Amino acid sequence: MVLRAPRPSDLDEMLRFANCLVREKRMNPGLGILMDRRLNRKAEAKFLDGLLTGVRTKDAVSVTAEVDGRIVGHTEVRRQPPGDVRHVGRFGIAILQEYRGKGLGKLLMGTVLEQAGALGMKLITLEAYANNEAALRLYRSFGFKEFGRLGGGVRPGGEPLGLVYMFRQS
């Protein structure tokens, strides 16, 4: 397994990765990710371009996990818009189903948070579905604290579910 920054040539792999998650979400609406529509190459190119631009301008950090040329995990922290919130970064992470529960989340999260800190993103925020026990435990283990909960903030499969807001300050 290789942990590395994403690059432009990852487009097709990133697309495959994202659509694997979308497929899983369609089978299991409770999966704690927002994406539920298949992405096309154009949409993924826009996403990747935005991310790589952010990395170049030091407004984002990102790490992908690659196994045999396949992307199996991705995490990122994106700086909030310029101005008084330049120290705030928004965190996200996802790992393909067959690679979960093996310590990869912990590894990716530790790596990307360190990179975000080095760029001055001292306050990291994230959101998680209230039923996403794996994610919530992972986040707590990195010192994230809940600062709010929006009841019914998401409706996976049409059922209202809370959205948990967390932060970590360093």
Contact (CB, 8 A) for 113 and 133:
no
Nearer to ligand COA, 86 or 111 (CB): 111
> Crossing angle for the helix pair 133-141 and 104-118, nearest 10 degrees?
50
**Sole binder of ligand COA in the list 81, 101, 120, 152 (CB under 6 A):** 101
Per CB under 6 A, 28 contacts ligand COA? no
**Sole binder of ligand COA in the list 19, 100, 110, 122 (CB under 6 A):** 100
CB of 96 to ligand COA, least distance (A): 8
- 104 to 133, contacts with ligand COA by CB under 6 A? 104-106, 128, 132-133
Contact (CB, 8 A) for 161 and 151:
no
Place of tokens 């809940």: 146
CB of 135 to ligand COA, least distance (A): 4
Of all helices (H) and strands (E), which one includes residue 115?
helix 104-118
Per CB under 6 A, 27 contacts ligand COA? no
Place of tokens 């950090």: 61
Per CB under 6 A, 6 contacts ligand COA? no
* Nearest alpha carbon to residue 28 among 147, 131, 125: 131
For ligand COA (CB under 6 A), the number of binding residues is: 20
Nearer to ligand COA, 48 or 109 (CB): 109
The Cα 48–Cα 67 span in angstroms is 19
